[in-house]
């Protein structure tokens, strides 16, 4: 099986400003294989976001290593890893430029990770492509290609973030509690759209969620974190046998 990401003994320690050093990621080793869809569960302070940040390059490791497609990226900053990764954040405002239109945001996403010079953007050439793409969301986004993104609803904006993250196929899609800020109905719709995209495009994805139901329903692997460590790594069969009660038991 093709390895997409490998963490070896990944550790992050932070100084609290006094004399204490706190370990927020504790000797984590994890291999993510091609087409894996991992869901990550854990309480506050379990290390979920820290894990995402060290993979994305926004937080350096204190020790250990990270490779992406066999390349050691441990010392590479986030912008150098952008060619491999895309990320959808919890806050709908994080993944889009509010003053730019939906079409303009999509055009930026289309050229993610590429070297850019000065050239006419020719955005009208993409009208049909962007209309078809936004039509897949089922929330009327295709009617707002010329609307500034800041005027969209939270659900529409988060759906746009998902489109932008997957428009140029990433090696790894990071979903950082991307439905948490939405109302229940919108959250369900976006989660179904996410699962459809992951399956259709055969993406490799890592998703943090606080929704036990989503952890049960989606993905082929389940990671449970506690105190900066991975305490469970369940495969598809093991996951299928779990109930909500079993999940709560993991945190006892």
Instruction: Output 250 or 202, whichever has higher pLDDT.
Output: 202
Helix (H/G/I), strand (E/B), else coil: 49: helix
- 33 contacts: CB under 8 Å, gap ≥ 6: 1, 2, 3, 4, 204
Q: What is the CATH number of domain 3-84+170-250?
A: 3.40.50.300
Task: Supply the pLDDT for residue 115.
Answer: 60
Average pLDDT score over residue span 130-141 = 92
Between these two residues, 112 and 23, which has the higher pLDDT value?
Answer: 23
Q: What is the pLDDT of residues 148-159, one digit of tens each?
A: 999 999 999 999
Residue percentage of the chain with pLDDT more than 70: 95
Q: How does residue 93 score in pLDDT terms, banded at 50, 70 and 90?
A: confident
- Both tokens of residue 12? 């992050």
Are 58 and 78 within 8 A, CB to CB? yes
What confidence category does residue 240 fall into, taking pLDDT thresholds of 50, 70 and 90?
Answer: confident
Q: What is the pLDDT of residue 227?
A: 94
Residue 118 has pLDDT above 50, yes or no: no
Give the whole-angstrom CA distance, residue 40 versus residue 182: 19
Give residue for tokens 């919890």.
Answer: 90
pLDDT tens-digit readout, 213-230 = 898 899 999 999 999 999
Helix axis angle, 154-167 to 102-110, nearest 10°: 20
Task: Considering only residues 110 and 174, tell me which one the structure prediction assigns the higher pLDDT.
Answer: 174
**Helix or strand holding residue 25 (H, E):** strand 21-33
Closest CA to 207 of 100, 52, 69: 52
How far apart are the two ends of the chain, measured CA to CA in Å? Answer: 34
Question: Above 50 in pLDDT, residue 163?
Answer: yes
**pLDDT for residue 18 is more than 80:** no
Task: Report residue 117's pLDDT band, with 50, 70 and 90 as the boundaries.
Answer: low
**pLDDT tens-digit map of 170-208:** 999 999 999 998 999 999 999 999 999 999 999 999 999
The whole-angstrom separation of Cα 28 and Cα 72 is 16
Q: Specify the pTM.
A: 0.91
Residue 116 is predicted with a pLDDT of: 55
Task: Give, in degrees to the nearest 5, the angle at Cα 109 between 108 and 112.
Answer: 90
- Residue 113's pLDDT band, with cuts at 50, 70 and 90, is low
3-state secondary structure of 59: coil
**Domain edges within the chain:** 3-84+170-250
pLDDT at position 43, please?
A: 86
The residue with tokens 């010079």 is 117
* Edge-to-edge order in the sheet of strand 71-72: 21-33, 3-15, 63-68, 71-72
Express as a percent the part of the chain with pLDDT over 90: 73
Residues 244/210, Cβ–Cβ less than 8 Å: no
Instruction: Give the integer Cα–Cα distance in Å for 13 and 193.
Output: 37
120 Cβ neighbours under 8 A, 6+ residues apart: none
- Starting at the earlier edge strand, list the strands of the sheet with 85-88: 85-88, 172-176, 205-208, 37-41, 221-226, 229-234
How many Å apart are CA 26 and CA 158, to the nearest integer?
Answer: 32
């Amino acid at each position: 099986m093709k390895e997409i990401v490998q963490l070896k003994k990944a550790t992050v320690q932070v100084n609290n400003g006094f004399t204490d050093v706190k370990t927020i990621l504790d000797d984590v080793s994890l291999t993510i294989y091609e087409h894996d869809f991992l869901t990550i569960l854990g309480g506050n302070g379990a290390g979920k976001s820290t894990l995402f940040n060290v993979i994305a390059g926004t937080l350096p490791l204190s020790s250990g290593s990270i490779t992406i497609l066999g390349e050691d990226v441990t010392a590479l900053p986030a912008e150098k890893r952008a060619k491999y990764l895309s990320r959808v954040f919890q806050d709908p405002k994080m993944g889009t430029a509010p003053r730019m239109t939906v079409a303009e945001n999509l055009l930026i996403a289309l050229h993610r990770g590429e070297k850019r010079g000065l050239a006419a953007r020719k955005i009208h050439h993409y009208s049909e492509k962007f209309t078809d793409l936004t039509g897949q969301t089922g929330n009327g986004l295709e009617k707002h290609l010329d609307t500034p993104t800041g005027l969209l609803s939270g659900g529409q904006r988060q759906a746009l973030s998902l489109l932008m993250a997957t428009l140029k196929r990433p090696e790894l899609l990071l979903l950082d509690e991307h439905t948490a800020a939405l109302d229940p109905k919108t959250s369900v719709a976006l989660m179904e759209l996410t699962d459809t995209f992951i399956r259709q495009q055969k993406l490799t994805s890592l998703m943090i969620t606080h929704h036990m139901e989503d952890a049960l329903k989606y993905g082929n692997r389940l990671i449970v974190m506690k105190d900066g460590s991975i305490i469970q790594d369940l495969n598809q069969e093991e996951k299928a046998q779990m109930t909500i009660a079993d999940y709560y038991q993991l945190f006892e």
